[in-house]
Every structure is written in structure tokens, then in C-alpha cells.
Structure 1
Amino acid sequence: MVAANGDSTIDIEGPLKELGDIYADIGVIVDQLVEEEAALHAKYELKKVDLYKKRQAVIDKIPGFWHTCAITYLQSIDIERSASTPVNYKIVFKFAENPYFTNSELAKEFDFSDKGSIKVVNSSIDWKEGKNLTASPAKTEGEEDSDNFTENEDTSFFCWFNDENGSDLADMIANDLFPLALMYFTGSAENSDDDDELPVFDELDQNDVEEEIEASDDAVSDEETEDAPVTKRSKRT
């Protein structure tokens, strides 16, 4: 590659390669920074465990708190972190009795110990007969298969428990929604200047779900869907 310099040209391929090597080295340092920031954040989140337990005791006095922050029938969210490696965590959702599944608790666990991969353990949802909100609707002609619910805004939140990854949403819940729950409840999170687009759960409203199920009966036999898309979220670091 050459560059013009007045009436002459200069071969800049060598300098560009040198710059590329320098930026590659800078990238390594940036990656280290991101990892250390994540580890430090997780360490201090672990220190808040007792305060979060006190917070939940107060939240229990506010009807529909987590409904407003997240989804109907949700009673509490808890983040369980490993004391030895707090960057690893389990998100535990506790639900009231509801018309859709029998589980009182659903969890998704993430192990980031291996930098090359993420280990994920999902709860199995015990759906009540005819109430599976993750049942796939009929595909339109030419529509491609996808097993990643984040690619489709019209997919039920509960498909996340079928996702072998889902770490972007997990990061939002563990490091944004959970610590800033009061801001989400009051709506002040939506006006925050911290992010260009703060993620907010769309409500899983029972009436909306049932209306969507009834509307789809004629088109899709024995298949029920949820009219509660999860908004695509920008990841916070």
C-alpha cells in the first residue's frame, strides 16, 4: 500500500502493520481491564447480599413490586454468587401460583471460569397442560429456524430457559435490573443518562397472554403464545 506525499509516493504497508501490532497489544490490555472490572463489580455485589435480603423483606410489603419491574406472578429475584469466584452467579426467580407452570422457582446458572466458553444450567419448566408459553407458532414461508430467543422480539421471556447461552440478558438482570430494582419500579431508570437505551422488561400480563392465546387458536392448533416480547437490551459493563 502506498500513500501520496507531494509528487512522490511512500510505501506505508510496513508502518500500518506496526500500528496493527500495537493496537493488538492495546486490545489485550483492554480485555484485561474488562475482566478485572467485571471481577471487581462481582466482588462488591457479593458484599451487598445481606442488604439485598433486607431489601426483599421490604419489597414483600409492596404489592406487585416485581410485577411492575418485570413480569406478572414474579415474587422475587435473587442473585446467588460464588464466594470464591463471584463473577459466577445463579439468577433465581420465585413465582406465585399461576395458570402456566407448577414451578415455584426457576433458575439459570452461569459459570464464566473458562474464558473460552460459558457453562449454563437451566431450570426445566413444568408447564400446565396447554399453557406452554414457549411453544413455537407456525412459521411463515421462508422463515428460518432459530434457537436463540434474543433474535426474535416476539418470543416469550421463558424461552430464555431453553437458551444454552443468554448471558447478555443475564448480565442485564444481575447487574442492572436487580441492583437498580427501585429505579425500575419508580420508572426513574428509564430517564437515566447512564445508557443510551436502558433495558426494561415488558410485563407478562395475564389478560394479554390469554387474549393472544384465544386469538391464535383458529390459526395454530394446540399452540399458545405470549404477547409479551422481551425488548432487545444494550449490555452494560
Structure 2
Amino acid sequence: MLEIDQEAFGRVQDDIKALNEQTEKVELELTKKRNELMLPILEKRREIIAKIPKFWPTVLQNSHEIANLVAMDDLPALEHLTDLWVKHDPKDPRNYEIIFTFSDNEYFTNKELIKKIFHKDGEQATEAYTINWKEGKDLTASKGKKDEDSEDSFFSWFKDVDDVTVGQYFANEVFFDAFSVYAGEDEDMFDDESVDLEDEDEDDGEVDEDDEEDDEDDQPAKKKSRK
């Protein structure tokens, strides 16, 4: 068996670890600086968007990955979405809030729905946010026995304490590329009517394992039943 200089090997591993830690710190500083420089630009964009009717509802519908999480019953409520904003912690950009602002509507009393993403124990985490539903208007409430065609509400995401991928997708893709998505330039969007990727895989039969792994890495978690 080949003998390994454990001491030398350990020193190299320590050097790699130290460099990775330094790189992470540099990347965080770059992100902080980018957010600082980007803020006034995004505020100008916000003023422009405010003059465009149904801008954010259109963005959500045009983003295939987000539209895939929206149930038909959610659409009337989402029509009241007037603003979407991502507020980063100036000290640690890994901590941020995704703020959805709504006009008065028949579904809930909240003016804002907020989803927080934060760095904890070396990983990204999230927490539940309470929506104050009006009587009989809770879109996340159980509607009795569920079948294969039943849809989970997009608003159930605000109760989710495990999945951070949707929040990351909102912050890194939907929010920053809002104009492109609004214009229908979302790369993930189908030209024709929206198709659920899970249904598409079943129709095609065999699925390439490499493609499946790539999809899982690049996309937020697909909508699944929440009990």
C-alpha cells in the first residue's frame, strides 16, 4: 500500500480550507458592494414599475418556475400584487427579506407578505410568516379529500420552514431580471402554454439522469402537496 505523508497532506488540506474561507469572505464583500451600488438603480426601476399596470402579476405568470407553483385559485389574489422588493442586510447579504406588497383585497388583511431568508449554522434557512386571512378566504385551507389534480396554493410557501430554493429564485432571478421576465424573455418559460415538468417527464417516458440532476440543481423545488 502506498504510504502517505499524513502531516504534509494535512497541511495542504488546511491551506485549501483557509483559501476557501478567504474566498468566501471576499465574495461576501463583493456582494455587499454590488448591493450598495445596485440599490439606487433598483429604486429608480421601482418608480418606473409603479407606473406599469399589473407589472408584478405579469412577471409571476411569465416566470415558468414561479407560475408552476401558483394554483388557479391564487390568481385573483395575486392580481393585487403591486410591488415586490428584496431587502438585503447591509452587514450580511446572505440575510434578506422578500417583500410582497398588496392592494386592498378580499383575501387577507396584510398589506405586506414577507419571506425571510437568513444564514444559520453555515446554511441558508427560512421561517414561517403568518397571513391574516379573511373569513372563508384562506387559499391554503384544506378543501377536503385531495386528488391527483388538486393544486397547492402559492401562499402555502409563506408557511414553509424548510424550502429556501423558491426564495433564492425570487431574489436572484425574478427580482433582478424583472424587466426581462415581464417582456417574456425568461429562459425557462415555454413558448406555448405552461407545462408541468413532472407531467412532461411522465409523457416522455425515459428521462436522462444527467438532465434530471441538472434540473434539480437549477430550479426551485416543484410544487408538492403540503399536509
Unaligned runs of 5+ in 2: 4-8, 61-77, 195-215, 221-227
1:55 Cα deviation (Å)?
0.7
Query: Partner of 1:186 in structure 2?
Result: 183
Name whichever of 27-36 and 72-81 sits farther off: 27-36
Contact 1:111–1:120 under 8 Å retained in 2: yes
Q: Percent identity between the aligned chains?
A: 31
**Alignment counterpart, residue 160 of structure 1, candidates 157, 162, 165:** 157
1:88 lines up with 2:95 in the alignment: yes
1:45 Cα deviation (Å)?
2.9
Contact 1:43–1:87 under 8 Å retained in 2: no
Distance in 1 of aligned mates of 2:130 and 2:140: 12
TM-score of the superposed pair, with normalisation by structure 2: 0.62
Query: Partner of 1:134 in structure 2?
Result: 140
Look up the equivalent residue of 1:56 and give its one-letter code. Answer: R
SS state at 1:69 partner: helix
Q: How many residues align?
A: 173
Query: Partner of 2:58 in structure 1?
Result: 68
Name whichever of 180-189 and 40-49 sits farther off: 40-49
Contact 1:118–1:165 under 8 Å retained in 2: no
Contact 2:32–2:90 under 8 Å retained in 1: no
Distance in 1 of aligned mates of 2:164 and 2:52: 30
1:171 lines up with 2:168 in the alignment: yes
Show the 5 A alignment for 1:213-224. Answer: none
Contact 2:127–2:160 under 8 Å retained in 1: no
Look up the equivalent residue of 2:92 and give its one-letter code. Answer: T
Give CA-to-partner distance per residue, 1:12-64, whole Å, 9 cap, x none. xx79xxxxx9xxx6x96997699568634454134311211111111111111
CA 63–32 in structure 1, closer or farther in 2 if over 3 Å, else same: same
Greater relative CO, 1 or 2 (CA 8 Å, sep 6+): 2
Name whichever of 44-53 and 152-161 sits farther off: 152-161
1:109 Cα deviation (Å)?
1.2
Give CA-to-partner distance per residue, 1:53-86, whole Å, 9 cap, x none. 1111111111111110124211111111111111
Distance in 1 of aligned mates of 2:22 and 2:189: 23
Give CA-to-partner distance per residue, 1:143-196, whole Å, 9 cap, x none. 9xxxxxxxx993111101110133100110001100100001100123xxxxxx
Query: Partner of 1:234 in structure 2?
Result: 218
Contact 2:94–2:124 under 8 Å retained in 1: no
Contact 2:97–2:116 under 8 Å retained in 1: yes
Q: CA RMSD in A?
A: 3.9
Distance in 1 of aligned mates of 2:110 and 2:51: 23
CA 34–122 in structure 1, closer or farther in 2 if over 3 Å, else same: farther
Contact 1:74–1:95 under 8 Å retained in 2: yes
Query: Partner of 2:121 in structure 1?
Result: 114
**Alignment counterpart, residue 43 of structure 2, candidates 22, 30, 53:** 53
- Answer with 1 or 2: which has the greater Rg: 1
SS state at 2:186 partner: helix
Query: Partner of 1:218 in structure 2?
Result: none
Contact 2:81–2:102 under 8 Å retained in 1: yes
Contact 1:43–1:86 under 8 Å retained in 2: no
